[in-house]
């Protein structure tokens, strides 16, 4: 098989977040750092699934996004996390939902994929599972917004990564703190394979936005079906799927966006919100990151 040029794309959430000031700069730096971590895997011949896990874990650790350390709180003031990962080469997938005692939910999702016959584990027993297998605990004070510091939802949203490796394999991963002020126990689309996260031999997708609408439209799988079933270009398939989300959500609800890469190396990053933090690296130059509309993407 002819080696492919690897590609890694990441996002830090779509929404109305400010794109000015120190916080904005920190978010862009966090995207660049995540791209660097994931690219190191791909550039050394590593697998797409390893690259997306490490890129997402980097963003969870940064505290700059609504994921991992920077996650927003639920209605009780607690932080709970969701995450999923999927290997497009095999369609193996793992996910966790409503976990609150671990630092990197994507690492727990990877363990579900690799060490169990299941796809999704949720709640305190999912925390127990991850901690028993070595996922770092969230020590006291780890979550920056615990106790209600970000209940307004001012933190940008979900983080995710998609990758194509040199063997031509695809993968996707997504992690989030979920909807600000959500009911305790709520699990969003990030942990639902086919909604916020999907990878198969044709494309890999990671979504961001109001999760209920992405679940109800089976968004990420819909993108893949547009590519593999209808023969649409990746950008058109993603655009159609996002339009379906927006139509279902209605004018009074926030939209969202996604990042996606196809097996031919095509990348698309559509969003219907004022901004979406996103970045890409493919070895042809320095990593590129942006939050607003940008002709480079």
Sort 52 into a burial class: Cβ within 10 Å, 0-12 / 13-18 / 19+.
buried
Range 73-93 burial, b when 16+ CB lie within 10 A, else e: bbeeeebbbbbbbbbbbeeeb
Q: Does 251 have pLDDT greater than 70?
A: no
Q: What is the pTM of this model?
A: 0.95
End-to-end CA distance of the chain: 29
Strand partners, 172: 86, 162
Higher pLDDT: 207 or 4? It is: 207
Q: Which DSSP symbol is given to 137?
A: B
Eight-class DSSP state of 185: T
Placement of tokens 């590593």 in the chain = 46
Tell me, what's the pLDDT at 150?
44
Bridge partners, 197 (sequence order): 193, 206
Q: pLDDT tens, 6-28?
A: 999 999 999 876 677 888 999 99
**pLDDT, position 156:** 64
pLDDT category of residue 155 using cuts at 50, 70 and 90: low
Pick the catalytic residue: 158, 174, 217, 273? 158
Could you tell me what percent of the chain has a pLDDT over 90? Answer: 85
- Whether 80 is catalytic is no
Q: Which of 77-91, 145-159, 178-192, 262-276 has the lowest mean pLDDT?
A: 145-159
DSSP H helices in 209-293? 211-216, 219-228, 234-249
Of how many residues is the chain composed? 297
Residue 153 has pLDDT above 70, yes or no: no
Distance CA 259, CA 223 (A): 11
Contacts with 61 (C-beta within 8 Å, 6 or more apart), sequence order = 68, 69, 103, 104
Give the model confidence (pLDDT) of 24-34 as tens digits: 999 999 999 99
pLDDT, tens digit (0-9, with 9 covering 90-100), for 76-94: 999 999 999 999 999 999 9
Nearest to 210 by CA among 250, 238, 240, 171: 250
d(CA 45, CA 119): 27
Residue 56 has pLDDT above 90, yes or no: yes
Structure tokens of 271?
A: 């969003």
pLDDT at 152 (0 to 100): 41
Nearest 10 degrees: Cα torsion 250, 292, 158, 114: 120
The per-residue pLDDT for 151 is: 42
Q: Is the pLDDT of residue 42 over 80?
A: yes
pLDDT score recorded for residue 2 = 62
Contact 81, 176 (CB under 8 A): yes
Class of CATH domain 7-285: alpha beta
């Amino acid at each position: 098989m002819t080696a492919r040029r690897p590609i890694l794309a990441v996002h830090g959430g779509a929404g109305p977040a400010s794109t000015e000031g120190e916080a904005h700069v920190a978010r862009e730096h966090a995207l660049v750092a995540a791209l660097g971590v994931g690219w190191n895997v791909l550039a050394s011949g590593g697998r797409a699934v390893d690259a997306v896990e490490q890129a997402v874990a980097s963003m969870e650790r940064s505290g700059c996004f609504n994921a991992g350390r920077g996650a927003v709180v639920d209605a009780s003031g607690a932080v709970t996390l969701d995450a999923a990962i999927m290997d497009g080469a095999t369609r193996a997938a793992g996910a966790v939902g409503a976990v609150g005692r671990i630092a990197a939910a994507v690492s727990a999702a990877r363990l579900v994929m690799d060490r169990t016959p299941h796809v999704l584990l949720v709640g305190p027993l999912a925390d127990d599972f991850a901690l028993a297998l070595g996922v770092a605990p969230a020590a006291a004070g780890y979550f920056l917004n615990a106790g209600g510091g970000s209940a307004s939802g001012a933190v940008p949203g979900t983080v995710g990564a998609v990758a194509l490796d040199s063997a031509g394999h695809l993968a996707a991963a997504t992690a989030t703190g979920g909807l600000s002020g959500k009911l305790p126990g709520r699990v969003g689309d990030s942990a639902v394979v086919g909604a916020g996260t999907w990878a198969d031999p044709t494309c890999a997708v990671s979504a961001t936005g109001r999760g209920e609408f992405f679940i109800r439209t089976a968004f990420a799988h819909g993108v893949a079906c547009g590519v593999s079933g209808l023969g649409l270009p990746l950008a058109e398939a993603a655009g159609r799927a996002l339009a379906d989300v927006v139509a279902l959500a209605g004018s009074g609800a926030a939209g969202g966006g996604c990042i996606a890469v196809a097996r031919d190396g095509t990348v698309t990053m559509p969003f219907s919100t004022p901004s979406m933090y996103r970045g890409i690296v493919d070895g042809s130059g320095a990593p590129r990151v942006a939050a607003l509309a940008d002709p480079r993407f």
